[in-house]
Structure 1
């Protein structure tokens, strides 16, 4: 085909129209992008240029039930490096090494990485203000500081096993810090800047700050003052008995709220790396399992009373042993207790008497109460590492196993299980859920966002049986093996325990016991239950002599702190020759000096001043004090 001028002209027009169409399309596309897609394009560009430096959200504080701070945060600067902005890496590493106490080679390796940002760890993580100021004065390109937080424990090792600790990245590793890490840790924010593909900062571009979200504050049921009472008594016991370990628990038996919990050995959470794992990883109050000994007899007597298998006035003769399946089970008292009532069986912690109660109940009935009270299973307290304990399987229980279980041998339990079970027995008969969290508060508004409202669980014994058990255990403290827990002015109930430890070969160890005491007060309406167990105390190995005084020290201060009023309707202590006796101090003001001497025959008397009448006295009257206390009377006319 011959190409004419007309064809050439048409083709030119077509090409021209196509070029015009393309240009118009480009103009429309450009206008669309500039007018309607501005923010989208800007966001895409900023995503390519933006570099983020993380800023930690503050971890929530941990408070006691009165909202006193047990754990909080302190500022801890951290050194970061942006490798692309460091021009002289050798010089930078050389200057930083002595300040951060790191090798020059290690720092050079870190700042040479092909990455946006790197922490100069470990020496540059969570440094002191002094070290941070030294870094700032160097003005090194590509070296910056970001703020992190470090956990601070104002009371040192107090409640260490409850609180736990966090790692270098503020993640919970043990204790309550681990259980509630998600709520405590909050969310990260960031400081953002713009840089080119090589990581060099783009000039004249502003930085952006995304505020972090702080974690919630955790309010515990622990009471700081009660916890201090517990820690003090354990320290005294360590010094006196040099045991392998001690565990102590204080709980409200009506709610299950744990008011105090401590172990020995203990550790400092801020310095946990210098302690063995078996110390900081084991909260003995919930982890340790052992044969409870005679504290378990509370379960047996409660079950026997509930089922009508015993009358406390009923007579029982103890020859010092009882034969079960051709085995002689001895009483702790050589020669036995002789003729006694079943109330005295409990007061004297008489093993043959409790074996008899176990036999009356039978395997099925006794073990049903044991299981209903929570033994053999976790209490599900909100702490990590809880053990379940061990019970005989039904197929394993014969006459001998039934007998030993009745007085606390052959079963394995945890301290928290014992406290929870005794709480149910003495609070009117209903189970409670042991817990250590009271609620969660917003750190900004200081208002509760979650509050732990727990109700009592199933009934295990009647209120009438619960009252009878309380009176029985009060008699144990006034007249029996628990005398060393007697507190003048308070109605105290309790039970001693002395259990042989089992060795690696499954045999009982000689002269190696766990001694314990569980006490509660006031006995008619308990507000607090205290449990202490001491592992292999040196010298004395009886619960009534070792642990009852420890419980008394904790309980007496706790009752006074809780403003529980003293009363005069408690059982009178059956004194031994070496017991401290208490007497009522009369109000002497207005009395004639001749009568004063007659009224103070149990006390020492100091007379101050002249005259015939008493115008003042110290201590004041109408209280009970130990005999031989000095009473000062001031005379006048």
Structure 2
């Protein structure tokens, strides 16, 4: 069949039209890609070529209330590898392995990974400056040194449970390091470059540097000196009594600021792997729960005074050594009882039957309403992880016996932080404050305070007038009652002992106790409150014998250091048969070490700190009255 010229021309026309349309579509597509999508595709291409070496920011320092550094960073670089840039991996591994102190075969496997960037671990992470210089001198292609740092705790185990520690990537794992990890961590920086498919740097390309943003500085309410005093006494308690555990908290009762907090057993944050996780995960002052014993009587006393249920000096109570409640016989700690006594003497003598009577006068609704108002049975909200609630009776569970035992601190469970927070409210004018350890956040480069943590008032629990009565009664406890071993001459110490049987196998143990003492000073204007609890000390198990002297030693050193001036008036201490003789502290300031022992005779023991040959400060101060055999702490310096 013959095809006409018209048909041929028509076919050629449509073929040409198709080609024109195809080229037009291609030109449009190229224009769209180049002009409209060009920037986006270029960015995507560049991202696929870009490699990054990260630079970790400096983790924010943790400092005490006076600026003493408790946790900071020291330079500790990390080794990175870009496998695609390493032509001879075996030779690189052979030369690098001895410097890092790792197996050559293990290093070779890491260098052979099909990854863009590999961090050499564990031996290449946070290496010393000496090793860093050795790696740098090797000049190995594809091996990079990334600026890094590791956490350093200059005082070892000091405040370990508060500070916590960080992991291999500077991430917070426990304590404040975990609690405030985001603010302390900062933001990472980097150096990025463009690489070819084989890993080589693209010719004529430039690196891009994004500086890291360092973490904020965290200032604490802790005082490093007070913390050291507290931890010294904790160590002494462990040596002397071999307890299962011991805790101590020192706080400003006027605002809830924690000045010191510690416990034993403890650990060093740099060596946390050497101890059981139970040691570093349990911050006992906020985690441990137990029956408080007689220190809880302060709450019953405050409630009874606030409700007008007792007159301490005008009313009397007869104690035969026990009281009968709901068919149960509740005994006093003193066999045979205290006989006839005023209610002030009930407090001084820590008489259980007397406090049962106060609980009965209040009734369960009133007593438990005050217990709740003082913060028991609920978390205080302290800015530390791991706080427990404690355990209180439910209203439906409270019968006559439960009301009676609660009144003298048995059958309920509290935490140390609840106890010191509640007693602070009882003696500071009636104000319950939320305890806290963070004081402020500081911009590290400028030193500017970005945020200040202000005291948080939870509620007014009792009146200032009632609080004054509580302080005066507790001062009598220390001067004339069961707390005499906490007496510090000139400082008007108030406080209360506690001796609580432990529950073992569902029964109260006759041999295991938690003994405690809570003390504050000065009694007319409390500026320091200290709580110590010792779990199952070996030997005599009474709070007044074991815990009260520990609180006394802490206060004797901490009060002068904090600038608290001695008082001219105080309730005189009543000395009883068997009490250690009292002697006057001599003035040692200005004397040389070689001259000291002429003044000491056999009355005192010495503990020194500092360097030099001249005494520049002492505690207790000259003229103070202390027990014979007490320790005088001297601070040495130069006489220039």
TM-score class, shorter-chain normalisation, is 0.7 to 0.9
1:142 alignment partner in structure 2? 142
Q: Go from structure 1 to structure 2 and tell me whether the alpha carbon gap of 1:352 and 1:5 turns closer, same or farther (over 3 Å shift).
A: closer
1:331 alignment partner in structure 2? 332
* Contact 2:219-2:440 within 8 A present in 1 as well: yes
Separation of aligned partners in 1, 2:180 and 2:583: 49
1:359 alignment partner in structure 2? 360
Equivalent runs, 1:61-460 vs 2, <5 Å: 61-313=61-313, 314-460=315-461
What are the Cα deviations for residues 195-252 of structure 1, in whole angstroms up to 9, with x where unaligned? 1123232234222211111111111111111111111111121121121111000111
Separation of aligned partners in 2, 1:115 and 1:559: 60
Separation of aligned partners in 2, 1:232 and 1:628: 20
What are the Cα deviations for residues 432-457 of structure 1, in whole angstroms up to 9, with x where unaligned? 10111112111122111111123322
Instruction: Report the alpha carbon displacement of residue 9 of structure 1 after superposing the two structures with TM.
Output: 11
1:559 alignment partner in structure 2? 559
**Larger deviation, residues 6-15 vs 299-308:** 6-15
Separation of aligned partners in 1, 2:56 and 2:92: 26
Instruction: Report the alpha carbon displacement of residue 14 of structure 1 after superposing the two structures with TM.
Output: 9.1
What are the Cα deviations for residues 546-584 of structure 1, in whole angstroms up to 9, with x where unaligned? 111111111122211121111211111112353443679
* Contact 2:582-2:627 within 8 A present in 1 as well: no
- Secondary structure (helix, strand or coil) at the match of 1:382 reads coil
* Contact 1:488-1:582 within 8 A present in 2 as well: no
Instruction: Report the alpha carbon displacement of residue 8 of structure 1 after superposing the two structures with TM.
Output: 5.4
TM norm structure 2: 0.87
Separation of aligned partners in 2, 1:57 and 1:146: 11
Separation of aligned partners in 1, 2:444 and 2:626: 53
Instruction: Report the alpha carbon displacement of residue 31 of structure 1 after superposing the two structures with TM.
Output: 8.3
2:534 alignment partner in structure 1? 534
What are the Cα deviations for residues 95-119 of structure 1, in whole angstroms up to 9, with x where unaligned? 3333333333322222222110111
Separation of aligned partners in 1, 2:239 and 2:583: 28
2:515 alignment partner in structure 1? 515
- Secondary structure (helix, strand or coil) at the match of 1:457 reads strand
- Secondary structure (helix, strand or coil) at the match of 2:433 reads coil
What are the Cα deviations for residues 75-129 of structure 1, in whole angstroms up to 9, with x where unaligned? 1111111111122222333333333333333222222221101111111111111
What are the Cα deviations for residues 505-556 of structure 1, in whole angstroms up to 9, with x where unaligned? 1112232111110001111111111001111111121111111111111112
Separation of aligned partners in 1, 2:379 and 2:10: 96
What are the Cα deviations for residues 557-616 of structure 1, in whole angstroms up to 9, with x where unaligned? 221112111121111111235344367999xxxxxxxxxxxxxxxxx9xxxxxxxxxxxx
* Contact 1:582-1:624 within 8 A present in 2 as well: no
Separation of aligned partners in 2, 1:287 and 1:41: 56
* Contact 1:191-1:208 within 8 A present in 2 as well: yes
Instruction: Report the alpha carbon displacement of residue 7 of structure 1 after superposing the two structures with TM.
Output: 7.4
**Larger deviation, residues 474-483 vs 361-370:** 361-370
TM norm structure 1: 0.88
- Secondary structure (helix, strand or coil) at the match of 1:279 reads helix
- Secondary structure (helix, strand or coil) at the match of 1:386 reads coil
2:469 alignment partner in structure 1? 468
**Larger deviation, residues 116-125 vs 292-301:** 116-125
Q: Go from structure 1 to structure 2 and tell me whether the alpha carbon gap of 1:418 and 1:20 turns closer, same or farther (over 3 Å shift).
A: closer
Separation of aligned partners in 2, 1:584 and 1:235: 25
What are the Cα deviations for residues 26-63 of structure 1, in whole angstroms up to 9, with x where unaligned? 4x987898788876565343212110111111111111
Separation of aligned partners in 2, 1:418 and 1:627: 28
Q: Go from structure 1 to structure 2 and tell me whether the alpha carbon gap of 1:246 and 1:627 turns closer, same or farther (over 3 Å shift).
A: closer
Separation of aligned partners in 1, 2:543 and 2:210: 59
Equivalent runs, 1:54-65 vs 2, <5 Å: 54-65=54-65
Separation of aligned partners in 1, 2:624 and 2:396: 56
What are the Cα deviations for residues 9-29 of structure 1, in whole angstroms up to 9, with x where unaligned? 995899499769948984x98
Equivalent runs, 1:612-627 vs 2, <5 Å: 624-626=623-625
Separation of aligned partners in 2, 1:375 and 1:628: 36
2:596 alignment partner in structure 1? none
Separation of aligned partners in 1, 2:53 and 2:137: 21
* Contact 2:494-2:523 within 8 A present in 1 as well: yes
What are the Cα deviations for residues 289-348 of structure 1, in whole angstroms up to 9, with x where unaligned? 011011000011111111111110211111111112222211111111111100000001
* Contact 1:575-1:581 within 8 A present in 2 as well: no
Count of residues paired in the alignment: 594
Separation of aligned partners in 2, 1:79 and 1:245: 42
Separation of aligned partners in 2, 1:10 and 1:627: 121
Separation of aligned partners in 2, 1:36 and 1:355: 87
Separation of aligned partners in 2, 1:42 and 1:393: 69
1:494 alignment partner in structure 2? 495
- Secondary structure (helix, strand or coil) at the match of 1:90 reads helix
Separation of aligned partners in 2, 1:153 and 1:412: 34
1:479 alignment partner in structure 2? 480
1:634 alignment partner in structure 2? none
Separation of aligned partners in 2, 1:448 and 1:309: 49
Unmatched 5+ stretches in structure 1:
587-603, 605-618, 630-637
Separation of aligned partners in 1, 2:576 and 2:431: 37
Instruction: Report the alpha carbon displacement of residue 409 of structure 1 after superposing the two structures with TM.
Output: 0.8
Separation of aligned partners in 2, 1:556 and 1:627: 10
- Secondary structure (helix, strand or coil) at the match of 1:431 reads strand
1:595 alignment partner in structure 2? none
Unmatched 5+ stretches in structure 2:
588-602, 604-617, 629-640
Instruction: Report the alpha carbon displacement of residue 6 of structure 1 after superposing the two structures with TM.
Output: 12
Instruction: Report the alpha carbon displacement of residue 382 of structure 1 after superposing the two structures with TM.
Output: 0.5
* Contact 1:315-1:339 within 8 A present in 2 as well: yes
Separation of aligned partners in 1, 2:463 and 2:481: 25
Separation of aligned partners in 2, 1:209 and 1:516: 58
Separation of aligned partners in 1, 2:506 and 2:11: 109
Q: Over the residues paired in the alignment, what is the CA RMSD in angstroms? A: 2.8
2:632 alignment partner in structure 1? none
Q: Go from structure 1 to structure 2 and tell me whether the alpha carbon gap of 1:353 and 1:627 turns closer, same or farther (over 3 Å shift).
A: closer
